[in-house]
Amino acid sequence: MENYLPLFPLNLVAFPGENVNLHVFEERYKQLINECLEKSHPFGIPAYIDKKLEYGTEMYVKKVVKRYEDGRLDITTRATRVFKVMSFNNPVGGKLYAGGDVFYLDNVQDGDLRLHTEIISLIKDLYNLMNVVKKVEVDEDITTFEIGHKIGLSQEQEYQLLQIERERDRQAMVIQHLKKTIPVLREVERTKERIRMNGHFKHFDSLDL
């Protein structure tokens, strides 16, 4: 499905279902947001990665948290659908901001329960190693998009995850990442322990040679 969206390029990845807080201060984006509010229209955040604008997320303004006297805005937005940028016009005719045609990607919810259970177990292992168990709740029905920012993915990996249309394929990517990351963290912890022990008095049994 192709559609036109006003575009607000940013160097971030917004996953569907995520709330994103924005401070809007440039004139072009103040104009964009005010028009979206007037028309109850969405806008798009194409992720500016590697100096390219290829994929992004449709956003709706949920709430204007604060309006400043000079027109700046603090807003809370909600990410909905992932899109691919088909055309980019900067600026749009008669406007200060950019816009373009986008193609909405499917979001196929075909998650595998076995993979989901494995992900939950791996995340708990990860958080135990990082001592953040009490700081991050892991809901049993959490999706890969909901944990995308919480498992140590690089921005490039988050961008890759955003483009995957099937939940089962996203699960596979998350598992691969966690299985690679957790052993590295365990080795870091072992190294830290060896460093802490360095210089302490040690008792060694005599060797029967």
The greatest distance separating any two alpha carbons of the chain, rounded to the nearest whole angstrom, comes to: 89
CATH number at residue 97: 2.30.130.40
Asked if residue 141 and residue 61 are part of one domain, the reply reads no
In a domain, 206, yes or no: no
Joined tokens for residue 53: 């604008």
Note the pLDDT tens digit of each residue in 110-168.
Answer: 999 999 999 999 999 999 888 775 555 666 778 999 999 999 999 999 999 999 999 99
Asked if residue 150 and residue 86 are part of one domain, the reply reads no
Which of 6-15, 82-91, 140-149 shows the lowest per-residue confidence on average (mean pLDDT)? 140-149
What integer is the mean pLDDT of 63-67? Answer: 95
Q: Give the structural domain span for 168.
A: 113-197
Joined tokens for residue 209: 């040679």
By the 8 A CB rule, do 43 and 95 touch?
A: no
- Length of the chain in terms of residues written: 209
Q: What's the total number of domains in the chain?
A: 2
Note the pLDDT tens digit of each residue in 171-188.
Answer: 999 999 999 999 998 887
Among 48, 70, 104, which residue terminates a domain? 104
In a domain, 165, yes or no: yes
In a domain, 137, yes or no: yes
Quick one: pLDDT at residue 208? 55
